[in-house]
Amino acid sequence: MTPMEPPNEDTSLLDFPWVIVRFRCHFCRRRKDARLAGLASDFGEHTTLKLLLSAFVRRCAWDPTNPARKPQKYGRKCGAYLMDIGRTSPPDLPPSMAGLTLIEGGKDDQLGTGSPPGPKRRRVGGS
């Protein structure tokens, strides 16, 4: 993997660019932040992120490969994913180091504080 290429599921721990690997699930509240060195010592440095994700899914109640669950055609499956797949900037970069960003629009696009343009209405009737 080149230094500018974002990580994908086939990226090994040896080539993963950041210190923390973050696992999340779309359906339940399961989450795990694991340090890269700990994962490398447990699983080996050439382990891919896909294998780590399958290890995270194995402990899920919605794991489709769990033999205790009956196969379901439309049943819910585990929604586990890696947060940093495809990301090019470090996840823990402080906002002050990210630099300034240009926001579309500006002072010319703001609405005025006065009354809207157009004819003034008059009150009819009464005193």
Whether 1 maps to a domain, the answer reads yes
Taking residue 80's Cβ as centre, other Cβ atoms within 10 Å add up to: 24
Whether 21 maps to a domain, the answer reads yes
Across 6-15, 49-58, 70-79, least confident range: 70-79
Q: How far apart are CA 84 and CA 16, in angstroms?
A: 10
Whether 64 maps to a domain, the answer reads yes
Q: Which domain holds residue 71?
A: 1-86
Give the closest residue to 49 by CA, choosing from 6, 85, 18. Answer: 85
Q: Give the SS3 label for residue 53.
A: helix
Q: Give the SS3 label for residue 39.
A: helix
> Between β-strands 80-82 and 31-35, what pairing exists: parallel, antiparallel or unpaired?
unpaired
Higher pLDDT, 30 or 99: 30
Indicate the pTM of the whole model.
0.64
Give the closest residue to 47 by CA, choosing from 79, 55, 80. Answer: 55
Whether 34 maps to a domain, the answer reads yes
Give me the number of domains the chain comprises.
1
Contact 60, 25 (CB under 8 A): yes
Token duo for residue 42: 């447990």
- pLDDT of 117 reads 62
Whether 5 maps to a domain, the answer reads yes
Whether 81 maps to a domain, the answer reads yes
pLDDT higher than threshold 80 for residue 65: no
DSSP conformational letter for 108 = G
